[in-house]
Structure 1
Amino acid sequence: MKTYDKSISRLQAAKQHLAGGVASSLRASMKPVPLYAESAKGARIRDVDGNEYIDYLLAYGPLILGHSHDGLNASVNQAMHSGYAFGLQHDGEIELANLLAQVLPCADKVSLSGSGTEAVMLALRLSRAFTGKTKIVRFHGHYHGWSDSIFTSFPSSGMSQQASEAEASRVPPGTFGQSANSLEDIILLPWNDPAALESLLRSRGDEIAAVITEPVMCNSGCIQPLPGYLELIRKLTEEQQIVMIMDEVITGFRLGLGGAHERFGILPDLVVIGKAMGGGIAISAVAGKAEIMQLVDDGKVSHLGTLNGNCISTAAAIATISHLAQDNGAVYGRMEELFNGFADGIRSLLGKHGIAGVVNQIGPVMHMMFIDAAEVNDFDTFNQRDSARYARFAELMLEEGVLLRPNGLWYISTAHHKRDIEETLDAMDRALARMRS
């Protein structure tokens, strides 16, 4: 039986001066306590109580190479010796921009920033400036960062649901404290609903600057687009002179070097990338068509940020992408094959224990949920899952030595191997048996 006494003690100490006791509100939902880490390497992480875990949280997604990757460490260390940040330009910015233009099919030019939220803000600003229109279409269950202008109520474990009963005519804010006017330009639609999309864009296209979409609903069930749906978004936005933004903060550099838009064969006008690009070092970017990015060139759209393109983040991104690109990206095939088998193993265990559940998986991203449904292909069905039961499962898996995100989203890295998967399935067998009893 694992103990978490030191994590509990540290959380109480943190609450004296650290608001909420954690640095990001999402982390507070972990049970039995938000863990305090001591060290990590590869696919394993150790907490301050000496417990070791196979890690599928991976810092909520960025650690595509696993923890403390030797090559990434060396590149960052070398960059640190030259200087952290200059407030001037340096060769790393040029090298990374060139690299992104090579691997991302939609990228003529890029702008570098520090987080996915910042990159989304820039993409929206570019879209409005380019089209001269103001409205933004986004979809239920998608997540595009926490800025006031895009953050809507997001009913999942660990995130605010306080606004879910707001009037149907208003877009519900994601948190208390948002300006009442912050979401006036947002139009919410159900995703994977071609009729609703076409009706709106054809009737109000002269108001709409952009449609922003995740290519896969990773946070909300790892739901994939219906056949032809992304193509329909592309067709309609082109017809109505609307900017198509693909938010690949999660899928970028996870579903392949060229992200989901390469995998699905779609060329959006703008793509937002982050998380995995830096391998754990904070960095993000907007990439896209030259005629849109020209607005930054001309100074018509301000793109600000003291640490944008700093030496550490660019070195980390170059090292991460270069490692992923080795042998023509062979590591992606290995990760996908590993996770395909893993997903099948989980389904078999659910059947063995007579527990109703669904596993949605694409590449090295997976969502597991307890639900009385044969499949989960839309947000309404996803919201019928038993999130409390899954949170309990994640707590049991922690006791078994496996670290999971409490909402059901799993990642693997290049550092995970067959042995890790086998140990995890054994742990899951025990945890599911405890749940059934």
Structure 2
Amino acid sequence: METRQSKAMFAEAEKVIPGGVNSPVRACRSVGCTPLFIERADGASLYDVDGNRYLDFVCSWGPMILGHAHPEVVAAIGAAAAAGTSFGAPTPAEITLAEMVVEAVPSVEKVRFVNSGTEATMSAARLARGYTGRSMVVKFDGCYHGHADSFLVKAGSGLLTLGIPGSPGVPEDIVKNTLSIPYNDIDSLEKTLTDERLDIACVIVEPVAGNMGCVLPDPAFLQRLRTLSTERGIVLIFDEVITGFRLAYGGAQHHFGITPDLTCLGKIIGGGLPVGAYGGRAEIMDQIAPDGPVYQAGTLSGNPLAMAAGIATLKQLQRPGFYEELNDKAATCAQRLREIAAAGDIPVQINSIGSLMTMFFSTDPVTDFASAMKADTTRYAEHYCNMLGQGIYLAPSQFEVAFISAAHSANDLEKLQKMTEWSFKKMADR
């Protein structure tokens, strides 16, 4: 495909934007190409500035569960914008969306809206520290909870993609209060959470890891995490920025039947607009200012456009059979891809749950950070370029998730499967 205009725009962007992008993984460095500049999107398709059409399996990194430019969402945003884009004051839409979240998510009795997933996790950790009077945050290797200083320890997402183990600019005095332990490792979990020397305020986890690729939890791991945190008075935080309203209407906690103390949300609840939220037990949430002493604020929090888009999106997700239909077609697609991989000569592991999926180029099952790191990133880059040339838009990193949306048709998924088979054969013959 001809991408001359995208290349020219990237060259211009590099002059005025660090790396030419406003989020690092978009630079596509790990897959050895320059990024596409997107002009518009519709349904399951993206269109770049050169006029090329792509089937989109990134879905804006998760929010577009309905597909792009869904008419009900677009109409809601338009109506909200016509009434004013920001007031710095409460609006009725904030109450409506808050009530929808409280009704849907098992752990949430009260919710506070913010502007990003990073704000949500940062604020939840601060709240947990204020509530418990303790200082230590425990996270898991390969899980990414945004770019707040406390979380840039053995984190996933762009840090893995770019091979950055942490980040300069984060003082040791801050990260000394963050402890990262192996995901899915019950022994490490037991030893850490029962260590009397540690002053643990909270444990934060992606209930399904999505930022080292899709890595499923051992159900016993999540259950033991819940039990130990309860016994020790530790606040359990589920980072459901990806899984919230994605695995089920009630998120991963509904899917697995495990209720955390606090939940962080984002992506889908804003219908594709910038948004985040954190919520949980009223006893904890009442510690937030102005009711309590834990301070958090935001000029654009509860933005009326994001609230309108979120309400419109969640209404569509309430349609009977929505998740059954979405998850069934995603499961069928993942199984067909496993069959294609098994029939070829390229070692591939396909992890999937609901409408989330990652194809790891590895001979070994991927169950944690260490096994994810064994994946062949060079081979993934080759596959990425093969697929992009055939009009399939995947995440430009081995360590991200592919998303299926309601807008993907049977023909779209069949094309994904056929092009995957073609790509595997091309790589095997090389």
What is the TM-score normalised by the length of structure 2? 0.95
What is the distance in 1 between the residues matched to 2:164 and 2:68? 35
What is the distance in 2 between the residues matched to 1:149 and 1:137? 10
Deviation at 1:66, TM superposition (A): 1.0
Residue in 2 aligned with 1:331? 322
For 1:220-244, what per-residue CA distance to the aligned partner results, in whole angstroms no more than 9, with x for missing partners? 2322111321111111111111100
What is the distance in 1 between the residues matched to 2:152 and 2:76? 35
> 1:198 and 2:199 equivalent?
no
Residue in 1 aligned with 2:239? 247
Identity rate, percent: 38
What is the distance in 2 between the residues matched to 1:224 and 1:93? 33
Superposed counterparts of 1:176-191, under 5 Å: 176-191=168-183
Deviation at 1:203, TM superposition (A): 1.5
> 1:318 and 2:319 equivalent?
no
Residue in 1 aligned with 2:204? 212
Q: Match of 1:181, SS? A: helix
Q: Which amino acid aligns with 2:91?
A: H
> 1:415 and 2:404 equivalent?
no
Residue in 2 aligned with 1:348? 339
CA contact (8 A) 2:264 2:278 kept: yes
Q: Which amino acid aligns with 2:339?
A: S
For 1:397-422, what per-residue CA distance to the aligned partner results, in whole angstroms no more than 9, with x for missing partners? 00011000022420011111111001
Residue in 2 aligned with 1:77? 78
Residue in 2 aligned with 1:302? 295
Deviation at 1:178, TM superposition (A): 2.1
Residue in 2 aligned with 1:388? 378
Change (3 A) 1:310 1:114: same
What is the distance in 1 between the residues matched to 2:251 and 2:293? 29
Superposed counterparts of 1:261-272, under 5 Å: 261-272=253-264
Q: Which amino acid aligns with 2:227?
A: K
CA contact (8 A) 1:62 1:279 kept: yes
Superposed counterparts of 1:57-96, under 5 Å: 57-96=58-97
Q: Which amino acid aligns with 1:253?
A: F
What is the distance in 1 between the residues matched to 2:211 and 2:308? 28
> 1:97 and 2:89 equivalent?
no
Residue in 2 aligned with 1:109? 110
Q: Match of 1:118, SS? A: helix
Q: Match of 1:182, SS? A: helix
Residue in 2 aligned with 1:20? 19
Q: Which amino acid aligns with 1:32?
A: C
Q: Which amino acid aligns with 1:413?
A: S
What is the distance in 1 between the residues matched to 2:16 and 2:48? 22
Deviation at 1:182, TM superposition (A): 2.4
Deviation at 1:348, TM superposition (A): 1.6
Choose 295-304 or 37-46, whichever is displaced more: 295-304
What is the distance in 2 between the residues matched to 1:363 and 1:214? 15
What is the distance in 1 between the residues matched to 2:174 and 2:63? 29
CA contact (8 A) 1:153 1:161 kept: no
What is the distance in 1 between the residues matched to 2:342 and 2:2? 31
CA contact (8 A) 1:39 1:47 kept: yes
Count of residue pairs brought into register by the alignment: 423
What is the distance in 2 between the residues matched to 1:359 and 1:162? 25
Deviation at 1:87, TM superposition (A): 0.7
Q: 2:360 aligns with which of 369, 388, 404?
A: 369
Deviation at 1:176, TM superposition (A): 2.4
Please report the RMSD computed on the Cα atoms of aligned residues, expressed in angstroms. 1.5
CA contact (8 A) 1:133 1:206 kept: no
CA contact (8 A) 1:335 1:413 kept: yes
What is the distance in 2 between the residues matched to 1:207 and 1:22? 39
Q: Match of 2:194, SS? A: helix
Q: 2:280 aligns with which of 288, 308, 319?
A: 288
What is the distance in 1 between the residues matched to 2:358 and 2:211? 8
Change (3 A) 1:205 1:93: farther
Superposed counterparts of 1:153-192, under 5 Å: 153-154=154-155, 159-163=161-165, 174-192=166-184
What is the distance in 1 between the residues matched to 2:284 and 2:326? 35
Residue in 1 aligned with 2:123? 122
What is the distance in 1 between the residues matched to 2:162 and 2:191? 30
Q: Which amino acid aligns with 1:159?
A: T
What is the distance in 2 between the residues matched to 1:237 and 1:48? 50
Segments of 5+ residues of structure 2 without an aligned counterpart are none
Deviation at 1:207, TM superposition (A): 0.6
